Amino acid sequence: MRNLLSHFFFFSFAIGLLVPFVVYPLYQTVCMSFFENDTFTIKYYSEVMGSPESLNAILHNLIWIIVHLPVSIVLGLLFAVLLQNRRIKGSSIIKAIIFIGMVIPMVVGALLIRFSFERGIGIVPLLFKSLGFTSLDKTWTAYPDTALLSLIIGSIWLWTGFNMIVFSSGLATIPKEYGEAAMVDGASSLQTFFKIIIPLLRPSFLIALLTTFLYELKIFDIVYVATKGGPGDASMVLAVLVYIFAFRDYAIGKATVAAVLLIAICLIPSIEIAKLVTKRA
Amino acid sequence: MIKKFVVGLTLNVIAYIIGVVWCLPLIGLLMASVRPYNEIVSGWWNLQEFHITFDNFIKAWYSEPFPLGQGFINSFIVTIPSTLIPLMAGAFAAYGFSRFNFPLRDYFFMMLVVFYAMPLQAIALPVFRILNSLKLLNTFPGLILVHSAWGVSFATIFLRNYFQTLPREVEEAAKVDGASDFQIFFKIIFPMSLPGVISVLILQFSWVWSDFFFALLYIHSPEKYLATQSLVMMGGVYQISWNLLAAGSILVTLVPVIFYALLQKHFIRGMSGWVTGKG
């Protein structure tokens, strides 16, 4: 009995914080999406699912994933492989530069995106102008056709460092002899890379994939600070839409529906991560 | 021999090009922060006129009506307890998860990981109501509570995995000598886990410091704005003062960067624990 009490004590602080401020609100979010004045309704769901602005936001999250996921993972892997090469002098400094996107607050990341894509102020429009693409010499975040793209490119810049570190730690666990043995057997570097290194990096791929996917769904700060989802709703995403529904439209029912959708999409990768993290110890 | 040299040179050149390209936005930010406004409106890369000034930092620090200086004070007031409370609560729970046996233990633990992976929007609106009914909306204690609760999952997960990797001999010997769980926790586990504890400290501190969403929802008075809020509000309405924004951005970023730099080794160890499963 005493034992049980002392065991419970170890969990009491965590429970005391989690139950009122995480577990109960999570339950409430789901409840609020289904109830209007204590009567069950799916009205909010039909409102949200039928409105073009939600479909538009979901589409933007999808575009974000389609572009950002492969690019940030391939770049992260390439940088990790390149920069583990001992012949490169100062590779740790370059690694630190790429990783800094992970350290800077997302709000600063958002300002940096606006800054870098602003005509006359930032480097990106200048770059396209000097390459002859004069139509892209404009403030990207201010035009519907480029706003989302500029945010996605910026988020690749911010996030690739994470994937690079994941693959670097994965590579560090692969014994050098594996690659060397394959080379002695006459395999080319490319063959070694695709047939030996890549399969051994499977756990790193899984972590990078799941974490990046969640990051793309949770995108809020970058969009809210850089464009507020605009111009119009050209860069609106689901997480910002939750905020817009709740605090611009005061439509709490619709906001919780959007939140539930977000939870539902995040649930599968979250459970996969939970399995990975729980199993391994 | 020559081939080897050429390959080595090519690799170096590629790596440096990547490094420079990746650095460009940051160089731009730095340039904008140390030069007067009229020099950067024509592009920070224009160097015909080049004056270095720290005016922008001072202006950003005192800028009205959202001075970053006040934002820094507020951010520290919120961030320090919001780091220490979940660290302690999480360390206790992590000890429980790694040393006690009870039914459904792994399922509870998995639930924590799922909480940790959830978007903030999953709890944000009901929490708004709860804080409101507790009269804690627009107060630091309210925000600290929310951050602490949200951080508990992370601290517990991270430290449980760290505790799992510790050798058991010492604590088993202590147990034979009649030590209680509290004694083992405070005298053996916690001191042995200092690198893990420091990792949680860095990550949670940076997370809370960088947070914008919870602050945006739960803090409304300008004099209570956190650093991230003051920074976002500082831009100006009609004309964006990029030099102030750049200086402010650097100031806000400096805090977590210094933290990471000081404790980089622990952090990398923590990350590789996350990733490779070796702790």
Q: Say if residues A280 and B279 touch (Cβ distance below 8 Å).
A: no
Same domain, B69 and B95: yes
Enter the tokens of residue B179: 């030590």
pLDDT at B73: 96
B43 in contact with A, Cβ within 8 Å: yes
Same domain, B47 and B98: no
The pLDDT-based confidence of A56 (bands split at 50, 70, 90) is very high
Q: Say if residues B221 and B138 touch (Cβ distance below 8 Å).
A: yes
**What does the angle CA B147 – CA B106 – CA B118 come to, to the nearest 5 degrees?**
35
B13 in contact with A, Cβ within 8 Å: no
CATH of the domain at B208: 1.10.3720.10
Same domain, B134 and B74: yes
Contact across the interface for A94 and B88, Cβ inside 8 Å: no
Q: How many domains does chain B have?
A: 2
Same domain, B111 and B162: yes
Query: How far does A200 lie from chain B, in Å, by closest CA?
Result: 12
Does B60 reside within a domain?
no
pLDDT at B229: 94
Residue ranges covered by each domain of chain A: 51-235
Res B174 pLDDT > 90: no
Enter the tokens of residue A45: 């769901």
Same domain, B39 and B160: no
Domain assignment of residue B220, given as a range: 65-276
**B269 residue type, one letter:** R
Question: Which residues are CB-contacts of A254 (< 8 A; sequence separation ≥ 6)?
Answer: A44, A47, A48, A245
Residues of B in contact with A107 (CB under 8 A): 210, 212, 228, 231-232, 252
Does B58 reside within a domain?
no
Buried b (16+ CB within 10 A) or exposed e, A210-243: bbbbbbbbbbbbbbbbbbebeeebbbbbbbbbbb
Among B117, B125, B235, the residue with its CB nearest the CB of A246 is B125
Enter the tokens of residue B95: 């000890």
Contact across the interface for A17 and B256, Cβ inside 8 Å: no
Give me the CATH code for the A51-235 domain, please: 1.10.3720.10
Res A211 pLDDT > 90: yes
Same domain, B90 and B215: yes
Same domain, B127 and B71: yes
What value does the mean pLDDT take over residues B135-149?
96
Rounded-to-integer distance, Cα B158 and Cα A40, Å: 40
Same domain, B135 and B237: yes
Same domain, B45 and B88: no
Contact across the interface for A97 and B45, Cβ inside 8 Å: no
Res A164 pLDDT > 90: yes
Does B113 reside within a domain?
yes
A39 in contact with B, Cβ within 8 Å: no
Query: What number is the ipTM of this complex?
Result: 0.91
Same domain, B179 and B122: yes
Same domain, B46 and B78: no
Q: What is the pTM of this model?
A: 0.91
Does B59 reside within a domain?
no
* pLDDT, greater one: B70 or B238: B70
Res A280 pLDDT > 60: no
Rounded-to-integer distance, Cα A179 and Cα B149, Å: 46
Does B152 reside within a domain?
yes
Same domain, B49 and B149: no
